[in-house]
Amino acid sequence: MNRWIALGLFLLAAFTASAIGGYATFESVRTWYPTLVKPSWNPPAAIFGPVWTLLYLLMSIAAWRVWLRREQTGARPALRLFFVSLALNALWSVLFFGLHRPGLALLEVVLFWGTLVLIQLRFARLDRVAGWLWAPYVAWVSFATVLNAAIWRLNP
């Protein structure tokens, strides 16, 4: 397969997960989410779109770089985890925004975060740049996990 087509497919996969999450989120960010008590350090709504767009781009490039090394030991299992992480990413949005279940979303995001850390370790072993490209995603989901916990705690 042409390497550029492969990159396009990784981007398509990531932005498909984004679209699923966006569909689950769309109505709730206008109706339900504004009614929640949030911590003072909750970012403004305008931050989320650009941050997630950049993260989807970076994670796609990281996965693609690993795909370019797909014959190396550990590359294929790492790529399978990448696709698992996309499903977990979309599922979090469905649980939190779609079903209005911050507690259940918190449990899921802990699993999601652990998967991302495991991916980062595997990607970094296979391609140092891929590991660095993955790092902002882990950092953001770390922050999102703490924010999810705070919102759950503030809204019993």
Quote the pLDDT of residue 29: 92
Question: Taking the chain, what is the end-to-end CA distance rounded to the nearest angstrom?
Answer: 51
What pLDDT digit, counting tens, does each position of 138-150 carry?
999 999 999 999 9
Mean pLDDT across the chain: 97
Residues 112, 38: Cα–Cα separation, whole Å: 22
Provide the pLDDT confidence category of residue 104 given band limits of 50, 70 and 90. very high
The helix (H) or strand (E) run that includes residue 85 is helix 75-93
Quote the pLDDT of residue 120: 98
Instruction: Say which residues have a Cβ less than 8 Å from residue 86's Cβ, sequence separation at least 6.
Output: 13, 14, 16, 17
DSSP for residue 36? S
Q: Which tokens sit at 75? A: 């590359």
Residue ranges per domain, the chain? 3-154
Question: Per CATH, is 3-154 categorized as 1.20.1260.100?
Answer: yes
What is the value of pTM for the model shown? 0.93
